[in-house]
Structures are given as structure tokens and as C-alpha cells.
């Protein structure tokens, strides 16, 4: 199981990157860090700088076919930067077009709004993103995890860091189905 983690060069909520990353590794998978620039990314603990992480590949050079699933961590700034990058948005959209599973947490769903892939889908997020998702046609729910299956597409979403245990338990099996 090879999993793409897409983040901006700065602003990702560290725990929303590291806990799903660990869950993929613990399941025998290979996480792969993609960003809009090479080098390293700067993670945050809410608004404070945290650790840096090396980028495996720039999103513009990545191929969706190389991955079994996509994780979009949150953080307030991270998805805002991603949704302004056409390559990142196209990469996300291609996961939906090819029917591969996507997992998103917290503010990460802003990138899904920009990719225009939430219409008529059930989803959850950080509460302040609720109106944006509803305006984009999504059916927002207040739950620790929402699993939405729409034809070949499976979207797993969660609200916040406190939901990470449930989030990881829900998305890892979906990604394993693709790699089996």
C-alpha cells in the first residue's frame, strides 16, 4: 500500500500528518510526502512552528497511478496554500476521477472544495469549514468520521485532531482494499 500525503510547504497541522503517516506504516504501507515545492515542509502545532519533514516529490511530478490512496491533512494555512496551486488541485481531482480513495481531516477539505469534488457527498470537517462545504454542494455532518461511498469513490473525513484514532481506523482499511 503506497499512500500520497499532500501538503503545502508550510502550515500543515503536524499531528494530522504524523498520526496518519504512522497508521499507514503500522499497516505495512509506504507513506510518500508530496508538496508544491521540493526540499522540506514546515509543520505547525496550531499556530506555532513545529518540526520540518523532507518532501519525497513535488506534486507536479507525481502520478496518481503510483498510489493506492491520498491523505489530505489539515492545518488552517496548509489547505489554503494547496487550493491556490493548480497542480495540487488537479492531483486531488484525479484521485476522484480514477476512483481511488481519499482521506481528509480538519481544514483539509478546502482543497476538495477547490477541486469541485464534494458536490452531493457526505463529509465532515472542522466546524468553520462547514459553510464552505455546504456552499460547494456537500452534505456536512458533525461526526468523528464520515465514510462516503459514491460509486468507485470512497471519501473518509474527520473533524479534528481528537478524531485521529477513528480517522486512521477508517481510512487505512479503505486504502488496503485498493492495494490488495
154 in Cβ contact with 135 (< 8 Å): no
26 in Cβ contact with 1 (< 8 Å): no
- CA 160 vs CA 84, 108, 114, 164: distances in Å: 23, 10, 20, 7
| Catalytic residue IDs | 106-107
Q: In what helix (H) or strand (E) does residue 90 lie, and over which residues does it extend?
A: helix 86-97
Amino acid at each position: 500500500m503506497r499512500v500520497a500525503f499532500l501538503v503545502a510547504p508550510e502550515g500543515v497541522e503536524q499531528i494530522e500528518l504524523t498520526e496518519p503517516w504512522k497508521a499507514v506504516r503500522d499497516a505495512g504501507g509506504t507513506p510518500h510526502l508530496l508538496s508544491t515545492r521540493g526540499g522540506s515542509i514546515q509543520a505547525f502545532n496550531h499556530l506555532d512552528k513545529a518540526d520540518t519533514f523532507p518532501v519525497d516529490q513535488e506534486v507536479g511530478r507525481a502520478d496518481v497511478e503510483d498510489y493506492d490512496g491520498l491523505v489530505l491533512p489539515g492545518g488552517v494555512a496548509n489547505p489554503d496554500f494547496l487550493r491556490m496551486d493548480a497542480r495540487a488541485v488537479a492531483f486531488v481531482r484525479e484521485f476522484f476521477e480514477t476512483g481511488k480513495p481519499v482521506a481528509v481531516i480538519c481544514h483539509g477539505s478546502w482543497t476538495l472544495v477547490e477541486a469541485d469534488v464534494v458536490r452531493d457527498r457526505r463529509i465532515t470537517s472542522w466546524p468553520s469549514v462547514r459553510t464552505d462545504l455546504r456552499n460547494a454542494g456537500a452534505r456536512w455532518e458533525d461526526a468523528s468520521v464520515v465514510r462516503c461511498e459514491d460509486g468507485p469513490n470512497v471519501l473518509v473525513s474527520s473533524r479534528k485532531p481528537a478524531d485521529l484514532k477513528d480517522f486512521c481506523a477508517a481510512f487505512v482499511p479503505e486504502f488496503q482494499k485498493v492495494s490488495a
